[in-house]
Amino acid sequence: MTTTTLTERVERTELIAAEPVESLAAALDIVVPFDEGTTVPPLWHWLYLLERNRQSDLGPDGHPTVGIPAPPGPGRRRMFAGGRVSTFGKLKIGTPATKVIAVAGSVEKAGRTGPLTFTTVRHEVFQNNSLVIREEQDIVYRAPGSGSLPNPQTPPPPPEGPVLEQAADERLLFRFSALTYNAHRIHYDLDWCLNEGYDGLVIHGPLLALMMGEHMRREGIDLMGKTFSYRLASPMTKPQTFSIVPGPDGLANGAEARSAEGAICAVGSLSGI
């Protein structure tokens, strides 16, 4: 295993506009305030301050070949593994914000199907000169041609508590890709999905994480002053209605995203900053 600390850094500033919140609320078929001065719901910051790569800088899979992070080599398959979001303040609509992105570190490992590269990217969002959100995203690069992904294990029954169901069809996948400026073809190109070893269109990992935060928000659980950690346990594929259920210690401490078949595809937890 080789560990490297890197220092690449980019900065972007833009107005936190109302339209992204309005758009995602419409896609999820819910009502969320988006007037100037209102705040962006927890985890919805993923709609803002996006890197907008040129078309010529995209690889065959739709992922950027330059920027942060850049793939460690040609043909490597990118997977979003999870991350941590610490909320220090509310991101307000109608006020400019700045995001600073840097690669925090990279680790090379030998996996079952070949070499793996684990890269952690740090995002910090500032508004009115104050840190509002600090996030770390864990990205995994797999070797090309490493075959199908393993099937998820048979899960235990979901814990007791409130359940949030979300229908995710091709239309929602397309709209979520557009709102997050995500051109990865596994979310809209079925032939490409099969080429990467998936059995159908892949439901976005960040959408699963966002919906875990949404379930907490709708049940009155505040993410302010807390760190929301999430891990993508297994790919959720094919259009379906999935469920967000409480974690083993209750919704105030965590949640799970379960497929229509009951597989645990993402796990989230809340802790103090």
- Give the whole-angstrom CA distance, residue 245 versus residue 162: 7
Q: What is the pLDDT of residues 167-225, one digit of tens each?
A: 999 999 999 999 999 999 999 999 999 988 899 999 999 999 999 999 999 999 999 99
Report the Cα 98 to chain-centroid distance in Å: 19
**Domain map of the chain by residue range?**
2-272
As a whole number of Å, the CA-based R_g of the chain is: 18
Amino acid identity of 41? P
What is the reported pLDDT for 2? 40
Question: What is the percentage of the chain residues whose pLDDT exceeds 90?
Answer: 73
Maximum alpha-carbon separation in the chain: 50
224: tokens are 């302010």
What is the reported pLDDT for 152? 63
Report the Cα 116 to chain-centroid distance in Å: 20
Q: Is the pLDDT of residue 4 over 50?
A: no
- Give the whole-angstrom CA distance, residue 212 versus residue 233: 14
Q: Is the pLDDT of residue 268 over 50?
A: yes
Tell me what the mean pLDDT of segment 62-73 comes to: 80
What is the reported pLDDT for 151? 63
What is the reported pLDDT for 5? 44
- Which of 71-75, 155-159, 229-233 has the weakest average pLDDT? 71-75
Q: Is the pTM of this model over 0.75?
A: yes
- Which of 16-20, 38-42, 61-65 has the weakest average pLDDT? 61-65
Amino acid identity of 146? S
Tell me what the mean pLDDT of segment 1-20 comes to: 76
What is the reported pLDDT for 148? 52
- Give the whole-angstrom CA distance, residue 114 versus residue 272: 37
What is the reported pLDDT for 258? 97
Q: What is the pLDDT of residues 105-157, one digit of tens each?
A: 888 887 776 788 889 999 999 999 999 999 999 999 887 754 555 566 677 88
Bridge partners (DSSP) listed for residue 108 = 2, 117
Amino acid identity of 267? V
- On average, the pLDDT of the chain sits at 91
Structure-model confidence comparison of residues 198 and 1, the more confident one:
198
What is the reported pLDDT for 166? 98
5: tokens are 């600390």
Nearest to residue 241, comparing CAs of 186, 183, 164, 182? Answer: 164
One of 3.40.50.970, 3.40.50.300, 3.10.129.10, 3.40.50.1370 is the CATH number of 2-272, namely: 3.10.129.10
- Give the whole-angstrom CA distance, residue 143 versus residue 111: 9
Q: How confident is the model at residue 243 (pLDDT cuts 50, 70, 90)?
A: very high
Nearest to residue 161, comparing CAs of 94, 231, 219? Answer: 219
